[in-house]
Structure 1
């Protein structure tokens, strides 16, 4: 089984990333529409909560704000997914050390780090203003997230060095 080029594992992963990308895009549209419904018809939130027989300590505006914040974080994942699709697109074409992959991998690292920081801030704000409690965010989850961010930055440097070596090889007679 080939790992690079057309009809390889990387092209299969590119197809899977395309499906996830468009599914995530549809989910974001659904969240924005749900938030707009909650804002335009506040009694709808109360009716849905009553019919589902769940407790909702938040009003319609707070629920809409939380949906929009969740949509923003999913938007961050959508952008990261876009860059990842571009990287896998070059891998599926067989062009491993494409010069743009370095920049894309760096942006993926910044995006993952930014989403983690956004999660910390969102948790703080929800605990502070809505008096909701969550499990602590430190521990193994935080370590693996930040380790993943560092690995992406290291991969960016590996791709940068590979692109440099390829450029030098093209100049060799």
Structure 2
């Protein structure tokens, strides 16, 4: 099986990324609607918590804020998924070292770093404002997240060099 071009593994992965992208978009819309429902019908939050047998000290407004914060986090992943889809679209077309892929990979790296920093900030705010006990982020999860950010930036430089070599080769006769 081929890895690049039409009817290849990269085109299969691009199709999978399309499905995840639209699923993520639908999830953001659903979470946003649920948060708006919690804000518009305050008794709904208490009823939902009673049915789920949850014993928490947060009210409907706080639940809605948490849901909106989750939707913002998902929006970050949606942007990352959008840029990843664009990279895989060029791979599926067989154009590996497309000049725009360098910038896209950099944006993916910044997006991953931003989502991770947002995660730290939202955990700290949830702990400070809502008095929610939050599991600290350290160990392998933190190392893996920041390692993936560095790997994406390295890949961006590899794609930049590949695009430069391709442009140089196009100038030779």
Q: Identify whether the pair has TM-score above 0.5, normalized to the shorter chain.
A: yes
2:43 aligned with 1:43? yes
* RMSD of aligned residue pairs (Cα, Å): 0.6
Task: Write the mapping of 1:106-117 to structure 2, written as runs, cut at 5 A.
Answer: 106-117=106-117
What is the aligned partner in structure 1 of residue 148 from structure 2?
148
Q: Deviations over 1:2-42 (max 9, x none)?
A: 00000000000000000000000000000000000000001
Superposition deviation, residue 85 in structure 1: 0.2
Structure 2, unmatched stretches of 5+, are none
Query: In the aligned structure 2, how far is the partner of 1:57 from the partner of 1:16?
Result: 40
Superposition deviation, residue 50 in structure 1: 1.1
| TM-score, normalised via structure 2 length | 0.99
2:171 aligned with 1:171? yes
Task: Write the mapping of 1:10-159 to structure 2, written as runs, cut at 5 A.
Answer: 10-159=10-159
Aligned residue pairs, count: 173
Query: In the aligned structure 2, how far is the partner of 1:60 from the partner of 1:8?
Result: 48
Runs (4+) of structure 1 exceeding 4 A deviation are none
Query: In the aligned structure 1, how far is the partner of 2:8 from the partner of 2:33?
Result: 38
Query: In the aligned structure 2, how far is the partner of 1:132 from the partner of 1:95?
Result: 48
Q: Deviations over 1:90-124 (max 9, x none)?
A: 00000000000000000000000000000000000
Q: Deviations over 1:112-171 (max 9, x none)?
A: 000000000000001111111122201111111100000000000000000000000000
Superposition deviation, residue 56 in structure 1: 2.6
| TM-score, normalised via structure 1 length | 0.99
